[in-house]
Structures are given as C-alpha cells and as structure tokens.
A and B are shown apart, each in its own frame.
Chain A
C-alpha cells in the first residue's frame, strides 16, 4: 500500500518533533495518582464490600436483629439460621479474598488480551458478590414476609383463641406472589444500577476485548 509507506516515512521523519518533557516534570508525574480503570474498579469494589459488610454488622446490633432472632427461635429453626449466618460470612470472606487475588493479577506488563481478561474477571467477581448478596437478601425477605404475613393473617382471624374463619389458599398465594414481585422489582432495579455503573466504566474495554477476540476466531 503506497499511502501506508508514505505515512511511515512521515512518521519516522517526525519522530523527534515532540516537545520534550523534562526530568523534573517526570518526577512530578510519578507522584501523581493514577486514574485508570483498574483503580476505579478497586475503589468501587472496596466501597461495595465495606458497605454490605458494614450493613450486616450494623443490623446485628439493632432491634431488627433481636426481633428476628426471637421470631426465628419461635419458628424453631434457629440452628439453621445460625448455620446459614456462618455460611454467609464464609462466602463474603471467600469473595473478598478472591477479589484481592484477582486484582493482584492485573498487570500492565501482560499482553493486552490477558490484561483485559484479568480486569474483566476481577469485575465479574464483584458482580457475583453483589448478585450473591442480592439473592440472599431476597430469600430472607421473602421468607420473613411470608412467615410474617401468615402469622398476621392468623392473628387477625383469631378471637378468644378461636379461628373465626378459614383463610383461603388463594389469599396466601396472591400475597405470596405480590411479595415475590416486589422483591424481584427491587432486586432488578439495584441490579440495573450496577450494570449501568460498570457498563459505563468498562464500555470501551469490553469493545476492545471483543475486537481482539474476533481477530483470533
């Protein structure tokens, strides 16, 4: 291609035409903070991890937790609940360790494709962590509301220890469905927010990664 040769000639000719940056300026530059994508993912992730962990800890000091515990004990599933809590914390620690390990693997000296892959994997870990949290919250939410609703309904129809009327199955089913729909909507909105947040941040990287993968097809 003739034009490309011309371009190369011009490229070489202008090789030394750049205004040179002095050593002092370089010294200053290396003490400035990076604003790379990886840095942003790290910052956002740390906020996410600490926020959810903080919320969990905070909840365990409040009335809500005490009430829940009392309620759970009354249902006779306290042991399961405790087991589940331990599992939950183990999972959170697992995610944080995984995230940290993957973050450490991201290196600008890798080849471009591998670097992109590592960044995307790191982000995916955070994504999975968020999803895991959301699902856990949803399960808790649905379970509590369902049990709560049932006992509330039973309580309302009771007078002097007697049931006034039978609650029909359809009421249960409808209220159960409403609870699920509300939960799904809430989770959906939060999930969308995350997609948007990371989507904006990683749009260009994803495009470039797809382009690189396409070359090797």
Chain B
C-alpha cells in the first residue's frame, strides 16, 4: 500500500517538477539553496500527499504546498540576495534570436523581482503562471480585491526599482 502510494507520488512529482524548480528559481540565490529548497518542498509534498484526494489537479495542489514551504516552512540561512551570475546562468540559454535590448530589460526585470519580499514574489510568481486573482487570493488567504490592489502596488514598486 505504502509502496503504491510512494510510486504514484514519485511519478506525479517527477512529471510536475518544473513547478518546484520555478519556485526555487524565485526564492533562492544559488544552486545549493535551489537543491535544498527543492528537497524540502518534496518532503512537504510527500508528507501532505496522503491527504491529497485528487479533487484538484496534482499540479494545483503542488503549487500551494510548494509556495507555503518557500514562504513559511523553509528555514533558509541567509536572506536571498540576487546574484547576477546565478540569474544569467539560468536564462537566455536556448534562444537563438537575440534581441539585446529586450534581453537587457528582462535581466533588469529579474533583478527587480529578486528585490521584492517573499509575499510579493508569491504574487508575481502566480501572475507569471497565469493564475487568476481568485486562485491567488485563495492560495494566500487574502481577499480577491486586496490581491488585485496588492498586485498593482507591486507593479508600481517594480517600476520604481527599474526607474529610480
């Protein structure tokens, strides 16, 4: 029984692991921390798995647990400070057509996002993942209206960071 559960979990996680990687990308600043957070999220997901009844998709459920782990449960040793090397290593790897101006802008944008706090990052993350405000609000436990207001404020904050 436990083996079946384990097998089904590992398979589903393996197929959905990019969700976790994406969260790790936002919340950690080096490869070691990335691996560390990935592992903690995996453990938390596994611990919560017996309660997962398949009412929602595995991915939807995983988003919530993974975000909660990154924001609330995970104990990181240092606060995240964006390191340019780590960011640039991760992006622009596959594109053949280079638009240098665009590339520069994206780089700056990543840098700006790294300066946001944990909660703001969570909102941006869900925005990037095309989640609607209802789901963002539900995941964080705030009202839909306030999620919208907060998102607008974050956009303002990002603008300020980009054009000080």
Contacts and interface: CB of A to CB of B under 8 A. Distances in A.
Interface centre among B11, B43, B45, B138, by most chain A C-beta atoms within 10 angstroms, is B43
Interface centre among A32, A112, A114, by most chain B C-beta atoms within 10 angstroms, is A112
B44 A36 contact: yes
B141 A113 contact: yes
Interface stretch (A22-30, A61-69, A71-79, A178-186): A22-30
B105 A3 contact: yes
B30 interface: no
A37 B141 contact: no
A23 B17 CA distance: 10
* Interface residues of chain B: helix, strand, loop or mixed (majority): helix
A179 to B, nearest CB: 41
Give the size range of B's interface with the partner: 35 or more
Contacts of B93: 14, 17
Contacts of B73: 36-38, 108, 115
Contact of A15 (B18, B92, B158): B18
Given A108-B44, A109-B64, A3 B140 contact: no
B10 A36 contact: no
B131 interface: no
A215 B150 contact: yes
6 contacts: A6-B105, A22-B14, A107-B51, A108-B69, A119-B72, A212-B119
Given A21-B38, A29-B43, A109-B61, 8 more contacts: A3-B105, A3-B109, A4-B158, A30-B6, A37-B72, A110-B68, A112-B141, A211-B117
Interface of A: 1, 3-4, 6-8, 10-18, 20-23, 26-27, 29-30, 32-38, 40, 107-116, 119, 201, 204-205, 207-208, 211-212, 215-216
